[in-house]
Amino acid sequence: MAERVIVTGAGRGLGLCLARALSARGDLVAGTVRDPSGAGDLAALPGVTVEQLDLADSASVAPAVAAMADRLGGVDLIINSAAVNAMSVPDGRATLSVRTMQADPMLDIFRVDVVGALLVVRGALDHLVASPRGRVVNVTSWLGSIGGYATDSAVNYGYRSAKAALNMATRALAAELQPDGIPAVAVNPGWMRTAMGGGDHADLAPEDSAAGIIAIADALDMDGTGRFLDWDGAERPY
Ligand SMILES: NC(=O)c1ccc[n+]([C@@H]2O[C@H](COP(=O)([O-])OP(=O)(O)OC[C@H]3O[C@@H](n4cnc5c(N)ncnc54)[C@H](OP(=O)(O)O)[C@@H]3O)[C@@H](O)[C@H]2O)c1
């Protein structure tokens, strides 16, 4: 049966691949972008509506998501894919080292990657509860793993700490929403050939990661809630 899905950051990268794959199988997708005028690829997809959302504008997020959820006629699945890293915020390079650390870029990353994702869930929560199969997939990163700390990448305080915080927020969501029967998982999408990833050097086509993440969402039930998974379903240490 067609599902009603909110995908954040759906104008490009992994989010666009997720929207494309969901559209191709007949799901209804509210795809969020910051600038709808540049979202022609997304707008062309059947069953997809383009929704304006800036996660950096915290006060606007929950009301905007509630309104798009109403337009969608309900929400069965949220995929929080939108995020920024150090390179996407003003003075973000300062968060790469404690020797250059500044508060504002650190907080800019947290506002989008952690607070924004939670506010999206808050905005759609009534619809998730009403859905026969409401669930949440938060796209995090292996760089946010504490148990499996990756020593082959820069220390990158802002992005790593934000993704670790989103991992914990996902674990907390799984606990708080357990009585509502809403599972939540954190998913590492892998090193992808996107703007944020490694361009042509990266391991993985975002289309393949999107297919894996959708398979995880399809299989997700209360037995699987609270886990941290790779895009191919393998479990990761938090
Ligand atoms: N690429 C990788 O190798 C990799 C590895 C591990 C984890 N991840 C995670 O995978 C997810 C997707 O990454 P990606 O590679 O697709 O990144 P990307 O190509 O850089 O795209 C980032 C997306 O986030 C959206 N975004 C940025 N700031 C926003 C804001 N303030 N409000 C709303 N949306 C905002 C962008 O929207 P605009 O089009 O409006 O800019 C864009 O759709 C992210 O959560 C990322 O952290 C990626």
pLDDT at 127 over 90: yes
For ligand 1, the distance from its centroid to the CA atom of residue 167, given in whole angstroms, is: 16
- Determine which helix (DSSP H) or strand (DSSP E) holds 58, and give its type and residue range: helix 58-72
Instruction: With 0.85 as the threshold, say if the pTM is over it.
Output: yes
The pLDDT tens digits for 37-52 are: 999 999 999 999 999 9
CB 226 within 8 A of CB 171: yes
pLDDT at 153 over 90: no
Atom of ligand 1 nearest to the CA of 53: 33
Ligand 1: which of 52, 55, 81 to mutate, judged by most atoms within 8 Å of the beta carbon?
Answer: 81
* Residue spans of beta strands (DSSP E) within the chain: 4-7, 28-33, 48-52, 77-80, 135-139, 184-188, 228-230
pLDDT at 76 over 90: yes
Cα Rg, the chain, nearest whole Å? 16
Instruction: Please report the pLDDT score of residue 150 as a whole number.
Output: 84
pLDDT band at 14 (very low <50, low <70, confident <90, very high): very high
Q: What is the mean pLDDT of the chain?
A: 97
Largest pairwise CA distance in the chain: 53
pLDDT at 125 over 90: yes
Domain spanning 4-230, CATH class: alpha beta
For ligand 1, the distance from its centroid to the CA atom of residue 74, given in whole angstroms, is: 25
User: For the residues 168-185, what does the mean pLDDT come to?
Assistant: 98
CB 19 within 8 A of CB 211: no
For ligand 1, the distance from its centroid to the CA atom of residue 9, given in whole angstroms, is: 6
Instruction: Please report the pLDDT score of residue 198 as a whole number.
Output: 79
Instruction: Please report the pLDDT score of residue 180 as a whole number.
Output: 98
The pLDDT tens digits for 197-233 are: 978 889 899 999 999 999 999 999 999 999 999 999 9
Instruction: Please report the pLDDT score of residue 199 as a whole number.
Output: 81
Instruction: Please report the pLDDT score of residue 200 as a whole number.
Output: 85
> Strand, helix or coil at 50?
strand
The pLDDT tens digits for 89-116 are: 999 999 999 999 999 999 999 999 999 9
pLDDT at 54 over 90: yes
DSSP characters over 61-120: HHHHHHHHHHHHT--SEEEE-----GGGSTTGGGGG-TTT--HHHHHHHHIIIIIIHHHH
CB 49 within 8 A of CB 31: yes
Instruction: Please report the pLDDT score of residue 109 as a whole number.
Output: 98
Count of helices and strands (H, E) across the chain: 7, 7
CB 32 within 8 A of CB 6: yes
